[in-house]
């Protein structure tokens, strides 16, 4: 008899994650406690177009004014609203007029969380870095409605490497320092305030056979949010290295991990655990103080890992890569929590930290699923109900369905979509007066 049952993965705590793929799509994955914590794709932004392949993404998670910046293959950098995917600003990254964007792709993008000095309130500051080493810091006016506002404000460009290719770029937690490294480029630290190089690494010595492995950094991460002095890097030569700029220019600790290049490195909040992902889909946790592997995350992960992100609150890790799956892992047990198949090769994943589980910003179909739970809520707690109506009013095609046993009210339900906003309130109050009325939103 074949085994027909499958092992169910335990669900996730409520979360919201954004993924970016090679067709330039941004997909929003949400998990809610109501649905048993099974993450689902709730929204998809953009049309599939390979020239708009996302290369890097960064997000400002502030409560009041969240923003999402996305760098695309055709050289465009777009600033989106991470709540609904509306395009705020789109600029074309043309640092040198002669360079084609395909030949000088953006590798790093950082959206500053704190406003930089001398900037107005409604501007956002971006740091971009291209393969050839052109780092640009620019501030852009963000207009809420129009998407046509061009790059205004200050922009400053400097070159971070003379030769070689930049492959990774990282900004520390205080947003004062930035780290660059790549193929043929030793990691170097720049002060963003003055745009000057303050430190660069030295290659490790030749080994006992006199063999020198060429420099090729593929990923970096700062260990601590408030400390720019310690950072880990992953190399193409499957080495993970810890650098401490206050100690020495050579790596403090370096250890090997498996046999394929390290593609992603991410730090934990505790400041000493790091997560490593490599080119053949192995994901592991390591303690960087000792350089010992804590354990691997096992679970049918078959494609190269491109991005690892730690959830800011829950003990949770998200990884994505070339196998097209977004996977969530428990940090403590290192067991998979769930996996979502997103069809394309994924480039990046970002958590939205101010996601509210109770908030019902779901599309219409999901609301219908929960209608049974909502039936009594309206009668008991009319305040929340009215709030919902207020929010729903903004969308067109609002529909109220009544179910009090009278048949003609079904027709009434569809007619109400055309009712004016002012009338909606009065109708709603009438509904509330009835005993046992069911008000549903769809």
Interface with another protein (CB under 8 A), residue total: 32
Which of 39, 82, 182, 281 binds another protein (CB under 8 A)? It is 281
Torsion angles phi and psi, residue 311, rounded to 5? -70, 135
Residues 347 and 18: beta-carbon distance below 8 Å: no
Residues 310 and 319: beta-carbon distance below 8 Å: no
Look up tokens 């729903």; give the residue: 392
Residue 4 engages another protein in binding (rule: CB under 8 A): yes
Contacts 24+ apart (CB under 8 A), 118-126: 118/154, 119/153, 123/153, 124/60, 124/67, 124/69, 124/79, 126/58, 126/69, 126/77, 126/79
CB of 315 to another protein, least distance (A): 23
Residue 25 engages another protein in binding (rule: CB under 8 A): yes
DSSP state of 263: E
Q: Which stretch binds another protein (CB under 8 A): 35-43, 110-118, 316-324, 390-398?
A: 316-324
Which of 188, 237, 254, 409 binds another protein (CB under 8 A)? It is 237
Which of 131, 139, 236, 239 binds another protein (CB under 8 A)? It is 236
Kindly write out the interface string for residues 241-270 of this chain, putting x where it contacts another protein by CB under 8 A and - elsewhere. Answer: -------------------xx-x-------
CB-nearer residue toward another protein: 223 or 283? 283
- Tell me the C-alpha distance between 156 and 138, whole Å: 6
Q: Which stretch binds another protein (CB under 8 A): 83-91, 201-209, 336-344, 422-430?
A: 336-344
CB-nearer residue toward another protein: 268 or 323? 323
CB-nearer residue toward another protein: 3 or 396? 3
Please state, in angstroms and as integers, the Cα–Cα distance from residue 296 to each residue in 122, 216, 226, following that order.
44, 24, 28
Look up tokens 């919201």; give the residue: 16
- Binning the chain into helix, strand and coil, the percentages to the nearest 5 are 10, 40, 45
CB-nearer residue toward another protein: 202 or 300? 300
- Taking CB under 8 A as the criterion, which residues in 337-366 touch another protein? 341, 343-345
Which of 324, 349, 438, 439 binds another protein (CB under 8 A)? It is 324
DSSP 3-state of 428: helix
Q: Which residues make up the interface to another protein (CB under 8 A)?
A: 2-4, 6, 22-23, 25, 48-50, 216, 236-237, 260-261, 263, 279-281, 298-300, 302-304, 322-324, 341, 343-345
């Amino acid at each position: 008899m074949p085994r027909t049952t499958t092992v169910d993965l335990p669900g996730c705590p409520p979360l919201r994650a954004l993924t970016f793929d090679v067709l330039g799509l941004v997909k929003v994955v949400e998990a809610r406690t109501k649905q048993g914590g099974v993450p689902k794709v709730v929204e998809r932004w953009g049309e599939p177009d390979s020239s708009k392949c996302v290369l890097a993404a960064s997000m400002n998670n502030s409560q009041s004014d969240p923003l999402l910046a996305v760098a695309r293959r055709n050289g465009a950098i777009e600033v989106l609203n991470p709540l609904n995917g509306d395009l705020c600003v789109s600029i074309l990254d043309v640092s040198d007029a002669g360079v084609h964007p395909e030949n000088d792709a953006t590798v790093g993008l950082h959206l500053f969380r704190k406003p930089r000095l001398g900037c107005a309130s409604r501007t956002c500051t971006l740091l971009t870095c291209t393969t050839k080493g052109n780092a640009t810091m620019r501030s852009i006016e963000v207009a809420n409605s129009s998407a046509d506002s061009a790059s205004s404000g200050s922009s400053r460009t400097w070159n971070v490497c003379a030769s070689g290719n930049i492959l990774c770029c990282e900004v520390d937690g205080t947003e004062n320092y930035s780290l660059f490294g790549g193929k043929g480029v030793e990691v170097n630290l720049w002060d963003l305030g003055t745009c000057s190089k303050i430190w660069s690494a030295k290659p490790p010595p030749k080994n006992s056979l006199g063999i020198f492995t060429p420099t090729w950094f593929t990923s970096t991460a700062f260990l601590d949010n408030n400390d720019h002095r310690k950072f880990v890097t992953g190399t193409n030569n499957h080495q993970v290295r810890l650098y401490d700029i206050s100690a020495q220019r050579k790596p403090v600790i370096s250890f090997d991990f498996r046999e394929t290049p390290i593609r992603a490195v991410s730090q934990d909040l505790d400041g000493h655990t790091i997560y490593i992902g490599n080119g053949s889909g192995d994901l592991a946790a390591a303690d960087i103080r000792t350089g010992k592997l804590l354990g691997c995350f096992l679970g049918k992960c078959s494609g190269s890992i491109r991005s690892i992100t730690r959830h800011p609150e829950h003990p949770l890790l998200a990884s994505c890569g070339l196998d097209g799956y977004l996977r969530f892992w428990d940090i403590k047990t290192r067991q998979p929590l769930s996996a979502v198949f997103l069809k394309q090769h994924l480039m990046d994943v970002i958590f939205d930290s101010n996601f509210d589980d109770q908030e019902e910003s779901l599309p219409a179909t999901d609301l219908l699923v929960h209608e049974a739970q909502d039936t009594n809520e309206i009668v008991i707690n009319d305040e929340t109900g009215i709030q919902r109506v207020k929010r729903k009013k903004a969308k067109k095609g609002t529909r109220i369905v009544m179910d009090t046993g009278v048949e003609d009210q079904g027709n009434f339900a569809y007619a109400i979509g055309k009712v004016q906003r002012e009338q909606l309130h009065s109708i709603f109050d009438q509904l509330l007066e009835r005993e046992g009325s069911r008000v549903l939103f769809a």
